[in-house]
Chain A
Amino acid sequence: QSALTQPPSASGSPGQSVTISCTGTSSDVGGYNYVSWYQQHPGKAPKLMIYEVSKRPSGVPDRFSGSKSGNTASLTVSGLQAEDEADYYCSSYAGSNEVFGTGTKVTVL
């Protein structure tokens, strides 16, 4: 199984929005509605931000939203804040396996 493809970097100014893509295949992203997104600050464990494409765990701000179209899932962070600067990873169920994305570093300008 190959890693899902994410852009290496994305950026935006405070208050703006940034969208990160996560491209897979019909065997993973396109085949199931089990896409999740994780935020990872340096030296810390990843934190679940979105699951089942668009659901937010309790405590995650509604500035974070997810969607999917075909083989590509997306994470949008609206109203960027300084604390949103982090690495973001997508993940998808891939038929008894789980596969992560390559990761995107989000910079708040």
Chain B
Amino acid sequence: QVQLQESGPGLVKPSETLSLTCTVSGGSVSSGSYYWSWIRQPPGKGLEWIGYIYYSGSTNYNPSLKSRVTISVDTSKNQFSLKLSSVTAADTAVYYCARDMTTVTNWVWAFDIWGQGTMVTVSS
């Protein structure tokens, strides 16, 4: 079955750019026409949706993060990625990638498959 795995640096300096990649296995990022999302969870706090990408490259971002977020997809590597610029300590969190069950023809808006998450700490 489809599995997701996040990867990237666990420590990022303030003002720099956080970069993470989600590798999709057991399926294709471009099959099924699903939406692929990034979600984060600060330590001891709740979940926050960051944004999603469709395999065609169309994206949508959380308005509160929109100015700093870029999500991209590489269908040849079966991966999608997150870049978050100008990070501060408030961006310290576990970052999850997830598959949204929504397709172009069938709206569901629910995350059925999640990666295990990767902790990113922003500190000098």
Interface residues of A (CB under 8 A from B): 1, 3, 32, 34, 36, 38, 45-48, 51-52, 57, 89, 91-93, 96-103
B96 within 8 A of A: yes
- Given that A3-B46, A45-B116, A89-B46 are contacting pairs, would A97 and B108 also be in contact in the complex, using a CB cutoff of 8 Å? no
- Interface size range on B against A: 20 to 34
Nearest residue, chain A, Cβ from B64: A1
Q: Are A100 and B49 in contact (CB under 8 A)?
A: yes
Query: Which residues does chain B contribute within 8 Å of A99, judged by CB atoms?
Result: 49
Could you write out 30 A-B pairs with CB less than 8 Å apart?
Answer: A1-B62, A1-B63, A3-B46, A32-B109, A34-B108, A34-B109, A34-B110, A36-B109, A45-B96, A45-B114, A48-B111, A51-B109, A51-B112, A52-B110, A89-B46, A89-B47, A91-B109, A91-B111, A93-B107, A96-B60, A98-B37, A98-B100, A99-B49, A100-B39, A100-B46, A100-B47, A100-B48, A101-B46, A103-B46, A103-B47
Q: Are B110 and A45 in contact (CB under 8 A)?
A: no
Q: Are A97 and B60 in contact (CB under 8 A)?
A: yes
Nearest residue, chain B, Cβ from A49: B110
Q: In whole angstroms, what is the CA distance A91 to B108 when docked?
A: 12
Q: Are A38 and B111 in contact (CB under 8 A)?
A: yes
Chain A nearest CB: distance from B99 CB in Å? Answer: 10
Q: Are A34 and B107 in contact (CB under 8 A)?
A: yes
Query: Which residues does chain B contribute within 8 Å of A3, judged by CB atoms?
Result: 46
- Given that A45-B117, A97-B63 are contacting pairs, would A51 and B47 also be in contact in the complex, using a CB cutoff of 8 Å? no
Q: Are A52 and B108 in contact (CB under 8 A)?
A: yes
8 cross-chain pairs, A with B, having the tightest CB-CB distances, nearest first: A51-B110, A36-B110, A93-B109, A34-B109, A45-B114, A100-B47, A103-B46, A98-B49
Q: Are B110 and A46 in contact (CB under 8 A)?
A: no
Chain B nearest CB: distance from A72 CB in Å? Answer: 18
Query: Which residues does chain A contribute within 8 Å of B37, judged by CB atoms?
Result: 98
Query: Which residues does chain B contribute within 8 Å of A93, judged by CB atoms?
Result: 107, 109
Query: Which residues does chain A contribute within 8 Å of B112, judged by CB atoms?
Result: 48, 51, 57
Chain B nearest CB: distance from A51 CB in Å? Answer: 4
B101 within 8 A of A: yes
